[in-house]
Amino acid sequence: MNRKENFTAGFIRENPVFGLYLGLCSTLAITTTLNNAIGMGVAVILVLVMSNVIISCIRKITPSEIRIPVYIVIIATLVKIIQMLIKAYAPALDSALGVFIPLIVVNCIILGRAEAFASKNSIFDSALDGLGMGIGYTCSIIVMSIIRQVLATGILSFENPFNVEQVLFQVQIIPEDYIISMFSQPIGAFITFAMLAGILAACKNAKAAKAQAKEGN
């Protein structure tokens, strides 16, 4: 796989949320607003890139018998640093995301990429892999949050994470009489996820069928 394919794998083909079904706990819980999704997405991207780089740097000196505990310690340290930064500079975001920030430590996406890719590849390729997977994850939760926020409130808005009193934009898309408040609840998260996962699976199946038909011809 070349570097371009490696970087873009997390966008659609191996999308961590809708393709590999990883990190669903935080995905279903925090995608109620665009602010939450962007905040969590940025945090995951930072942890993915930095953990992949560090693990790639030490891959040749890490005994295979203890590699998983070593990876977890590295990831936990990075998550704690990011959590402290969020708590200090974006307390409203820290309050909204709550326990899901420290739970990044056990996010299957991060540990999975450390084991499957960073432990076997160069620093640059590992950084690209982390960035691509992080962007794929972030785009997925942003799409989910936009759908849920608009259907549940009728409004798409985004506040400055460093100053919640500053609304960067706010658009009324659906009249208040037509909102579906269910989408702010867990059942709305499951419905949104199922629809998007089904659409992506259908697109991938159609593409595979088309490629197979070409080969047959």
pTM for the full predicted model: 0.91
Q: Considering the domain boundaries, does residue 215 fall inside one?
A: no
Cα separation of 94 and 91, whole Å? 5
* pLDDT reading at 48 higher than 70: yes
Is 163 a member of any domain?
yes
HEC readout, the chain: CCHHHHHHCCCCCCCCCCCCCCCHHHHHHHCCCHHHHHHHHHHHHHHHHHHHHHHHHHCCCCCHHHHHHHHHHHHHHHHHHHHHHHHHHCHHHHHHHHHHCHHHHHCHHHHHHHHHHHCCCCHHHHHHHHHHHHHHHHHHHHHHHHHHHHHHHCEEEEEECCEEEEEEEEEECCCHHHCCHHHHCHHHHHHHHHHHHHHHHHHHHHHHHHHHHHHHC
* pLDDT band for position 166 (cuts 50, 70, 90): confident
Selection from 117, 179, 123 nearest residue 148 by Cα: 179
Is residue 214 situated within a structural domain?
no
Q: From 159, 46, 27, 179, select the one nearest 93 (Cα to Cα).
A: 159
- Asked if the structure places residue 16 within a domain, the reply is yes
Q: How many domains does one find in the chain?
A: 1
Chain segment 52-61, per-residue pLDDT in tens: 999 999 999 9
Write out pLDDT tens, residues 72-117.
Answer: 999 999 999 999 999 999 898 888 888 888 888 878 889 888 988 9
**Which residues form the domain of 115?**
3-209
Tell me whether residue 145 is in a domain.
yes
- Asked if residue 184 belongs to a domain, the reply is yes
Instruction: Please indicate, yes or no, if residue 217 is contained in any of the structural domains.
Output: no
- 199 is a domain residue: yes
